[in-house]
Amino acid sequence: MKQAAFLSVVLVLLQAPVTSFAQSPAGKSDRPLLPLKDAVRDALHLNLTLKSARSTTAAEETAVMSARGAFDPRLSAEPTYSTGRSTLLLDSGASTSGSQSGRALSAGVSGSLPFSTGYAVNLDHTWRDQENPLIAGLSQPQPAASTNLVFSLRQPLLKGAGPRYAQAPVTIAEYARDAARARLDRTVEETIAGVETAYWSVGLAEEVERLSFNSYLRAKELLDRNERMRGLGLISDVDLITAKRGVQARLTSLTEATRRRKDAVDRLLFYIYGEKAGAVLERLHDMTTDSPPEALPPLLGGEETKSLAMSIRTDVKAFSLDRSQSSFSEILAKNALLPDVSLAGSVSTLTEGTNTFRLLSTQRAGDIESTDWRIGLVFSYPLSNRSARAAHAKAKFDAEASALALTSAQANAESELRIAKRAVESTHQRLRQARLSFDLAGQQYEAGQKQLQLGLIDSFRLLQMEDDVTTAELVLAQVRYDLAQSITSYELATDGLRKKYEIAPETPPREPVK
C-alpha cells in the first residue's frame, strides 16, 4: 500500500509541467503605452536638434530680408544753427560790430533701384542775418537765403549693369535660405527616423526582457521539480546543482535585460523631449511600445531609385541649390573683372539772394535763380585687378567643389536607397527563416520535456534545449525589430517619413537653377 502511494507521488512529479515559452513579464500589461505616432508628434515640437535647425533656417530668412533692404531708400537730414559777432574796421580808424545768426538744413533721399540705377535727391538751404547794416552791406541785403535742389542718377554700363547683378545679394541669400529649408525638411525626416529607431530599440529591449523572464521561469520550474525529486531521493545532487546554476545564469541575464530596457527608454525620451525629458520620465519610465510592423512598404524599381536620388530627396535638393548659388557667384565674380564705367547725370536748381526759403521763384530784387544740367561718364579700373581675378578663381573652384558635392550626394542617395531596399527584402526573408527555426526549437524543447519525464535525458540536456529555444526566440525578436528598423531606413532613404505621418514640408524651396 505504501509502495503504491510512493509511486503515485513519483508519477505526479514526473508529469509536472515546465513553464511554457509564451509567458510575459509580470505587470507588462499595466505599463503605460507611448504610441509611436505620439512619440513622433512630440519629437517634432521638442527635439533639440530639430529646434536648432529651425533657428538656423530662420536666421537665413533674415539674411534675405537684409539683402532686400539694400533697395530701401535712405533719408538723411542735418539741421544746424549758428550765431556769432563780427567787427569791421572803418576808414576813419573807428570800428563797428554786429551780431549775426544763421540756420542751415541739408536733407536728402538716396538709394539704388533693382535694375542697378543709383539715385539721390538733395536739398541744401542756408539763411543768414547780420544786424549791422554796415557789415551786411558789404555782402548782400539781409536776411540772405540760398536754396539748392539737386537730383542725380548713376547707371553702371559694364560692371554691375542690369537687374541680375543689382539683385545678386538677394539671389544669393534666397539660394542659401532655400538650401536651409531643404536641409530642415531633411532634418525632419532624420528626426522621425531617429524616433522610430530609438522606439524599436525600446521594443526590442522590452522583448529581450520578456524572453529572459520566460527563460528564468522555465529554469525555476525545473529547479522546483528537481528539489522535490531530490527530496524523494530520485535524482542525484548533480541534477539539482545543474538546475540551480541554470536559474542563476538566467537571473543574471534578466537583470542585464532589465537594465538595457531602462537605458533604451531613457535614450528615447531624452531624444524626443530634450530638456523636458525629466518630467516625462516620471510618467513613462516603465513604458511599453507598439508592435513592430511586418508589412513591407511599396519598393521602388531601379529607374525609380535613380530618379529619386537625382531630384526628389531634400538633401540632394539642398546640394543642388548650393551648386546653383556657387555657379551664380562665379558669374558675379566674372562680371567684377570688367571696368567700372557708369553714366552719371544730374539736374540742379539754385535760388540765392532771397530773404526766405524760396525754390524756383524770384520775388525780390537781387534774387537769382539758375538751373544746371550735367551728364558724363565715370571710369574706374584698378591696375592689375588682382583682387577681382583672385575672387573669380576662388569662385570657379567653389563652383567645381559644389558640383562634386552634388554628384557625391546623388551617388550616396542612390547607394543608400539600394542598400535600404536590399535590407528590407533580406530581413523579410530572415523573418520567415527565424520563425521556422523557432518552431523547430520549440518542438525540440517540448520533446525534451517528455524525455525528461521518462528519464531519458538529464537536467543539463533539458537546460541546453531551453537555451536553444530562448536563443531562437531572441533571434526571431531581433529579426522582427531589424525589419522595423530597415523599413525606417528605407523610408528615410526615399524621403517617405513625412508622408507617412502626413507632415507637410516646413517651407517649399524653389527649384534650383539648371
Which residue is associated with the grid cell 552791406? 137
Within a 13 Å sphere around the CA of 172, how many CA atoms are in the beta-carbon half? Answer: 15
- What local confidence, expressed as pLDDT, does residue 364 receive? 66
d(CA 308, CA 305): 5
Buried b (16+ CB within 10 A) or exposed e, 183-209: bbbbbbbbbbbbbbbbbbbbbbbbbbb
Q: What is the pLDDT along the chain (514 residues), one digit of tens a residue?
A: 334 433 333 333 444 444 444 444 544 557 899 999 999 999 999 999 999 999 999 998 899 999 999 899 999 999 999 888 888 777 777 787 888 888 888 999 999 999 899 999 998 988 888 777 777 665 566 787 888 889 999 999 999 899 999 999 999 999 999 999 999 999 999 999 999 999 999 999 999 999 999 999 989 998 998 899 888 888 888 888 998 999 999 999 999 999 999 999 999 999 999 999 988 988 888 899 999 998 888 887 767 777 776 777 888 999 999 999 999 999 999 999 999 999 999 998 877 777 667 766 666 666 777 888 999 999 998 888 899 999 999 999 999 999 999 999 989 988 888 899 999 999 999 999 999 998 998 899 898 888 888 888 888 888 888 888 889 999 999 999 999 999 999 999 988 898 889 887 765 444 443 3
Question: Helix, strand or coil for residue 480?
Answer: helix
What confidence score (pLDDT) does residue 37 get?
A: 94
Paired with 150 in beta bridges are 122, 348
State the amino acid at position 358 in one-letter form: R
Burial degree of 85 (CB within 10 A; 0-12, 13-18, 19+): exposed
Length of the chain measured in residues: 514
- Render 315-344 in DSSP notation, one character per residue: HHHHHHHHHHHHHHHHHHHHHTTS-EEEEE
Residues 410 and 472 in one domain: yes
Same domain, residue pair 253 and 286: yes
281 and 200 share one domain: yes
Residues 307 and 374 in one domain: no
Verify that 241 and 181 share a domain, yes or no.
yes
For residues 153 and 280, membership in a common domain is answered with no
Q: How far is CA 383 from CA 43, 159, 364, in A?
A: 58, 16, 54
Check whether residue 141 and residue 201 sit in a common domain.
Answer: no
3-state secondary structure of 456: coil
Q: Can you give the pLDDT at residue 22?
A: 43
Q: Structural domain tally of the chain?
A: 2
Check whether residue 153 and residue 176 sit in a common domain: no
**Is 28 within a domain?**
no
Say if residue 416 is in the same domain as residue 288: yes
Residue 230: which CATH number? 1.20.1600.10
Can you tell me the distance from the alpha carbon of 223 to that of 239, in angstroms, rounded to the nearest whole number?
A: 9
Q: Is residue 135 one of the residues assigned to a domain?
A: yes
Same domain, yes or no: 152 and 174: no
Q: Are 87 and 143 within one domain?
A: yes
Q: Which domain holds residue 146?
A: 75-112+117-159+341-380
Whole-number pLDDT of residue 507: 54
- Residue 329 C-alpha cell reads as 557667384
Note whether 365 and 310 are same-domain residues. no
Is 467 within a domain?
yes
Predicted pLDDT at 140 = 63
